[in-house]
Structure 1
């Protein structure tokens, strides 16, 4: 009897360690969960106004600045400077090729000179450089990209890492997808986000299980964000009993066989 009580208790523990879909599915909403089988296809269920987000250049950003014009290359100061930079860039990391924004928010660019860029959008800086370049070349076109926009993701993920992207409008779901997704035992309701800016560090928690996360001011990833994914409470039980399940089943089989032979 004691053996069967132990087996029954073990079965209860295994059952309680199961992870339901409600703890795994992203961006849930009650009415859709209740009526998802009756909803017609191609139907707009609801709409959300996404938070406004415009990335502002900040110190330690690395900018790729490309200037093209109708001026012949032999007379184009910018083209010659860019070609010289490209010749030495073959064996260098991409983030070392661009223009580093110094602690004062300034960059030094050939011909243009020293320019304040911190606190401005990419498009504002493009317009400023275009106006300055227009004094030297005909009909300049300026393209700027951020080469070192990065964030880190730690915890219950397949691969803890720091990810660098050139797209500075990355949402939380996109950031997680780029990292390979979360593990089954990740607690999606208590994701910690650490954000530093101007000497101030903020710690907030976001719930990825709720659909209205799209309206959160933390829906977009910022430069240098750190995401920490905590485990569900089921993790210790799942990992321990999962590893010992085969041993337990074998033991039960042997005991039942012995009882059957005795009787």
Structure 2
């Protein structure tokens, strides 16, 4: 019987090349934040610019009025109104107001005052405006305004992509990423995208989370409805375009071929 001999090197070389390509697709990436900060010295960095958020259409505001008059407090804070009848003045209760929604015209419907425009004002400016409007009704009112739906969204290569309603308006990019469970190992840290809505349209800004410059950036502090999109590394995108069943099939086929190569002479003795 004729015995066949085969040059194993000729068959092994393509599989070595394929293996190198597979390994290179899993190459290590630098997952460190602020990699340009030296470990040998301390830094004094200028803090990012914080601007008090302005009230915009769609905001839900919690407005509390405190005065020396208990009846006024009930009126402005819980929707209690006074009405006249044959038996004299009576206090009747409307449903409790959960918040004041800023309508498409930038107004809220406030007890006694009616429609008042707050859109475009900061919290401090809105407090002063309300204080002046209430001056003829109550003496020296104290006003507190909070956002009830101050929301930021984090999507893409993070562990828990979602929209988050935050209890405070002072939130940073790092805090938002922390709420989303941090970036995954496939996250493209060099090209994080921030999308922000303004009165002039959408602003899109890209930054490198691996550099300390973000700490002093005007985009370090987020505003309501900001969206952070963390892009995926190209290697993951390439993997996503390949059917997992195809990868599994090729892996099994490669294993069988390699086994045949190393046992070829024995099989055909």
Matched, 1:5 2:13: yes
Normalising to structure 2: TM-score of the pair? 0.73
Change (3 A) 1:178 1:85: farther
Corresponding residue for residue 113 of structure 2: 112
Structure 2 match to 1:92: none
Q: Which residue of 2 aligns with 1:150?
A: 151
2:176 and 2:73 map into 1 onto residues whose CA distance is 43
- Whichever of the two has the greater Rg, that structure is 2
1:79-228, aligned counterparts within 5 Å?
79-81=77-79, 84-86=94-96, 97-133=98-134, 135-137=136-138, 140-228=141-229
The equivalent of 1:28 in structure 2 is: 35
Over 3 Å counting, the alpha-carbon distance change for 1:235 and 1:138 in structure 2 is same
Moved more, 118-127 or 66-75: 66-75
Q: TM-score, normalised by structure 1?
A: 0.75
| Structure having the larger proportion of residues in strand | 2
Secondary structure of the 2:187 match is coil
- Larger helix percent: 1
- Provide the rounded CA distance (Å) in 2 between the counterparts of 1:75 and 1:159: 42
Cα distance change on mapping 1:180 and 1:85 into 2, 3 Å: farther
| SS of alignment partner, residue 204 of structure 1 | strand
Q: CA RMSD in A?
A: 3.4
Q: Which ranges in structure 2 are unaligned for 5 or more consecutive residues?
A: 1-8, 81-92
Matched length: 244
